[in-house]
Structure 1
Amino acid sequence: MAGIGIVGAGISGLTLALRLQQLGVETTLYCERDAESMRAARLPGTVARMGHTQARERELGCEHFRDPASLMNTAKLSIKGEPPLEFTASVAEPFHAVDFRLLLPAFMDDFADRGGEIVLSGTEPDAAQVDRWSRGHELMVVAAGRRSVGELFPRDPGRSPYGRPQRVLTAGLYRGLDLGSLFSYNISGGVGEIFRAPMVTREGVVSAVLVEGIPGGPLEPLATTPWKEVPATLLALMREHAPRLAERVDQGAFELLGPDDVLQGAITPTVRRPVAELPSGRIALAVGDAWIVNDPITGQGANLGSKCAWIAADAIAAGGPYDAAFARTTAERMWEAGAPVTDWTNAFLQPPPEHVVSLLMAATTRQDIADLVLSLFSDPPYAWGLLSSPDEVARIVDGGEERLYDRV
C-alpha cells in the first residue's frame, strides 16, 4: 500500500505533500489540472501570506517570487467618517502577496522535481473516485473538491453560525493604482470593506483590490458588473467609500489586467465535519478549504490552510494506524489552530463592539497600539483572545506602552 493520498493542489494540499515528502512519507498528489493549466486559469483570489506561513515555506525550501515591492511591512487603516478614523502601522515580518496562478504551480513543480508523484484526474473527483483512490493508500486527505467535499464532509452546524454569505466579493488585479508596498484597509460602516495590496503577477507587481460588500448595500452590484465596466464602477465606489484609496488612482491608467483577472461571487462561512469513513474502510481527513471556509475579511484562509497542513503532516509522519481515532485526534489538533481564526473572522463580519472601537480609536494616537492591531493578523490566537475580551482591551488602552508588552 502506497502511503498517503492527497486530493487537491491548493496551498493546503501542496504544503501537506511537500512537508510529507520532506519527512520521508510516501505521498501521491491527485489534482484536476497540471501546473501549466493552473498558470493559465482565472484568478482564484487575492491572498496575503503572513510571516508564519512564509517561514514554513522557507523550511520547505519553497521560497518564490519575493519581489521587494510585494513585501508589506506597513498598512494604513481608514474608517469612513467625519473626520475619518485613520492610522498607519508596521509589522516586523512583512505580509507577502503572490498570484496563486504563479505560486501554486511553483509548489507543484517543487514537489515533482523532488520525485513526488502527481496523478491528474482531468475532472473534479466525487466521493466514489476518492474511495477508488483510497484502495492504494493508508489514508486519504482531502484538501479541495466541491463534489467530494459535499458528499464526504457534512456541514458542522455547531461551528457554522451563518447559513448564507455575509459579504459579496469582487477581487481583481489592476494597473493604475500605485501605493508602493503599502497595504490599504478601508472600512465603510454598514456598507463593507475595500482592501488593496501589492501582488506579484505575470506582469510584475500590481495592485490587488478586494471588495467585500454587505448584501443589499451599494458595493454588492460590483460582483455582477461586466469585467470591462468593473474599473470605472469600482473607482466611483472608492470615491464614496474609500476616498483615501481613490485619491491614488491614475484615472487614465486604471484598468484590470484582463478578463481572467477578476473574480466575482460570494461564500458562506462553513466548517465541515473533518472525518469520513470511505466504503473501502479507509479514512478520509479534510484539511484546508475542504474543512473550513472563512470569509477573507481577516485574510486568514491560506494561512490557516498552511498551518493545518503542517499539523496534519507531523501527525501522519509520527505513524499510524491511520484509523478514525487517528483522524479525530489530528482534527482536534488542527481545530486548536482553526477555532480562533474562525471565531475571529465570524465576529469581524458583524459591527464591532464598543471595546474594539475603543482599541481602534487608541491606535490613532498611540503607535504601539497601531502596530499591535496590525500584528493581530499574524497571530490569530492572540487576536481573538484580545478582541473577545473587553477587559484585556481596556488593560491595553488604559495602560502605558509597558503594559502593552506584558504578554511578550
Structure 2
Amino acid sequence: MRRILVVGAGQSGLQLALGLQSKGYEVTLMSNRTAEEIRTGRVMSTQCMFDTALQHERDLEINFWEQQAPKIEGLGVSVAAPDGSRPIDWLGRLKGYAQSVDQRVKMSGWLDTFAQRGGQLVIHGASVADLDYFSRTYDLVLVAAGKGELVSMFGRDAARSPYDAPQRALAVSYVHGLGPRPEHPETEAVRCNLVPGVGELFVMPTLTTSGRADILFWEGLPGGPLDVFNGVKDPAEHLALTLGLMEKYTPWEYARATKVELTDAGGTLAGRYAPVVRNPIGRLPGGGLVLGVADVVVANDPITGQGSNSASKCAASYLSSILMHGDKPFDEAWMKATFDKYWFTTGKPVTQWTNAMLGVPPEHVLNLIGAAGQLQPVANRFANGFDNPADFDAYFYDPEDAADYLAEVTAAAEPSSVGASSAE
C-alpha cells in the first residue's frame, strides 16, 4: 500500500485525498482547520463549477449537495454604458448545468467524510520543516495549500506569468433576498456585468450554510472607483458599499437587490492577489521533492470563474497519473510529466483566456460579445467556454478567426430568417 501525504483541504486537496482513499491508498491529509472551524468561519471564495468539474465529483460519488444546490442553466453577459444603460445584454445556454456550493459547506463535509472513511487527518498548519520531516516516510507529498510559507518552495515561472501585481481588487457578499432577472425569471444563471474602465460584477446562485443564496462579486481595477473595500471590517458596511456601487454602475442588478441581507456575519470577503504560474516541483532542505497542486502552481484571477474548476480538473488529472504509475517511484521526471499533462490540457488554456479577459478587450472581442446578442449560437458557445476554455482558441484570440466564425454563424442563421419573413 503506497503512502501519500496531501497538504491542504480545499477543492483539489480534498478531492484528491478522497479519490486516492477510494482506490486503496494510505492517505494522510493535513488541514490547518477542523471541519467545524471551516463550517462556522468566513466565506473563502466564489465558485461556480461547470459540468466537467462536477462530473469529476460524481465519478468519485462525493457530489453530496447536487440535489440541493441551484442548477445553473445559463450564463449571461451585460455591458454597461456610462449613462447606466446596457447596450449589450444576452443569455447563453449551458449544455450541462453548473452549480455553486459554498466551500464552507463542501470542504467541512468532505473533511468529515475523509475521517469517517478511515483517513488519517492531521489538524496542523504545515511548515517547510514539517514537510522535510514527513517526506522521508511518505512515497509522495502533494502540496495543495495555496497560501502561506509552503508556496515559497515553488518559484515563479516568469515566462508564463505576465503580471507581477494584482489586476483586480475583489469584494464578495453572500446574500439572501435577491430577486430574479425579469427577462428570464425562470432561469438560474450566472450574470457577468462588464463595466468598461471600472471592473466587473458577477452574480451567481449558490448553496450556503443557510440554504439557497446568491453571491454578489465585484472585481475592480486597482485604484479605480470599485477599489474601496480595503480595510472595511464591518460586514454591513461591506454590503452597503457593494449595493451602492451596483446602484451606480449596474442599476438593473441593483433593482433586484433592494431587499437583500447578508447570509451570515461571515458572508463577506475582500482581497487581491497577483495571477501567477509557478514551477511545479518544490525542493525541501533535506533534498526531498514535493509536487504542487492546482492554485499552488497555477493561480489565475477569478474573472473567468475557473479556480474551483481548475482545482477539480487538476485533482482528477493527478489522480489518473498516480494510478497509472503503479508502484514505481514518484521521481522528478514523473512529477514534471504529471504537471505538464495538467498544464497543457487545462492550465494553459485557462491562463491564456483569463489573462486575455483581464486586459482591455480588442475590437474583435467586442464584436464577438456584441454579436452574441443577435446570434444565439455565439452566446451559447461563449457560455460553454467556461466549461471548456480550450475552445476559445478556435475563434476568440485572433481577429481573422473571429471574423470567419461570425460570418459562418451569420450565414447559417440567414435561411431561417428569410423563411420567416416570406412566411409572413
User: Which residue of structure 2 lines up, in the alignment, with residue 339 of structure 1?
Assistant: 348
User: Which residue of structure 1 lines up, in the alignment, with residue 310 of structure 2?
Assistant: 304
Q: Deviations along 1:212-239, whole A, 9 cap, x unmatched?
A: 0001111111344332122222222112
Q: Aligned-pair distance for 1:2?
A: 5.3
Letter in 1 for 2:162: P
**Does structure 2 retain, via aligned residues, the 8 Å contact 1:127–1:151?**
no
**Does structure 2 retain, via aligned residues, the 8 Å contact 1:79–1:86?**
yes
Percent of pairs with identical residues: 35
| Aligned Cα root-mean-square deviation (Å) | 1.9
Aligned residues: 400
Letter in 1 for 2:225: P
**Does structure 1 retain, via aligned residues, the 8 Å contact 2:171–2:229?**
yes
Q: Aligned-pair distance for 1:353?
A: 1.2
**Does structure 1 retain, via aligned residues, the 8 Å contact 2:77–2:191?**
yes
Letter in 2 for 1:353: P
Q: Aligned-pair distance for 1:134?
A: 1.1
User: Which residue of structure 2 lines up, in the alignment, with residue 328 of structure 1?
Assistant: 336
Normalising by the residue count of structure 2, what TM-score does the alignment of the two structures yield? 0.90
**Does structure 2 retain, via aligned residues, the 8 Å contact 1:47–1:97?**
yes
**Does structure 2 retain, via aligned residues, the 8 Å contact 1:271–1:292?**
yes
The within-5 A match list for 1:55-70 is 55-67=55-67, 70=70
1:258 to 238, 259, 264: 264
User: Which residue of structure 1 lines up, in the alignment, with residue 388 of structure 2?
Assistant: 379
Q: Residues 83, 192 of structure 1: CA spacing in aligned structure 2 closer, same or farther, 3 A cutoff? A: closer
Give, in whole Å, the separation in 1 of the partners of 2:37 and 2:14: 16
Matched, 1:236 2:244: yes
Letter in 2 for 1:189: P
Q: Aligned-pair distance for 1:151?
A: 2.9
Give, in whole Å, the separation in 1 of the partners of 2:120 and 2:66: 27
Q: Aligned-pair distance for 1:68?
A: 5.8
Give, in whole Å, the separation in 1 of the partners of 2:64 and 2:168: 31
Q: Aligned-pair distance for 1:69?
A: 6.1
Letter in 1 for 2:99: H
Q: Deviations along 1:65-90, whole A, 9 cap, x unmatched?
A: 22466111023211012552111121
Give, in whole Å, the separation in 1 of the partners of 2:207 and 2:301: 22
Normalising by the residue count of structure 1, what TM-score does the alignment of the two structures yield? 0.93
Give, in whole Å, the separation in 2 of the partners of 1:80 and 1:237: 13
Give, in whole Å, the separation in 2 of the partners of 1:223 and 1:277: 35
Q: Deviations along 1:89-147, whole A, 9 cap, x unmatched?
A: 211211101110001122222222322221221xx222111111212101111000533
Q: Aligned-pair distance for 1:192?
A: 0.2
> Equivalent residue of 2:313, what SS?
helix
**Does structure 2 retain, via aligned residues, the 8 Å contact 1:396–1:403?**
no
User: Which residue of structure 1 lines up, in the alignment, with residue 123 of structure 2?
Assistant: 120
Q: Residues 151, 18 of structure 1: CA spacing in aligned structure 2 closer, same or farther, 3 A cutoff? A: same
Q: Residues 75, 223 of structure 1: CA spacing in aligned structure 2 closer, same or farther, 3 A cutoff? A: farther
Matched, 1:106 2:112: no
Question: What runs of 5+ residues in structure 1 fail to find an aligned partner?
Answer: none
Give, in whole Å, the separation in 2 of the partners of 1:394 and 1:8: 45
**Does structure 1 retain, via aligned residues, the 8 Å contact 2:4–2:28?**
yes
Q: Deviations along 1:227-253, whole A, 9 cap, x unmatched?
A: 21222222221122112211212x3x3
Matched, 1:214 2:234: no
Q: Residues 107, 384 of structure 1: CA spacing in aligned structure 2 closer, same or farther, 3 A cutoff? A: farther
Q: Residues 324, 148 of structure 1: CA spacing in aligned structure 2 closer, same or farther, 3 A cutoff? A: farther
**Does structure 2 retain, via aligned residues, the 8 Å contact 1:187–1:241?**
no
Give, in whole Å, the separation in 2 of the partners of 1:29 and 1:95: 28
User: Which residue of structure 2 lines up, in the alignment, with residue 53 of structure 1?
Assistant: 53
User: Which residue of structure 1 lines up, in the alignment, with residue 5 of structure 2?
Assistant: 5
The within-5 A match list for 1:8-27 is 8-27=8-27
> Equivalent residue of 1:9, what SS?
coil
Give, in whole Å, the separation in 1 of the partners of 2:403 and 2:231: 42
User: Which residue of structure 1 lines up, in the alignment, with residue 301 of structure 2?
Assistant: 295
**Does structure 2 retain, via aligned residues, the 8 Å contact 1:184–1:195?**
yes
User: Which residue of structure 2 lines up, in the alignment, with residue 163 of structure 1?
Assistant: 164
Q: Deviations along 1:287-341, whole A, 9 cap, x unmatched?
A: 1121111110000011111111111111112223111111111111111120110
Q: Residues 187, 323 of structure 1: CA spacing in aligned structure 2 closer, same or farther, 3 A cutoff? A: same
Runs of 4+ residues deviating >4 angstroms = 401-404
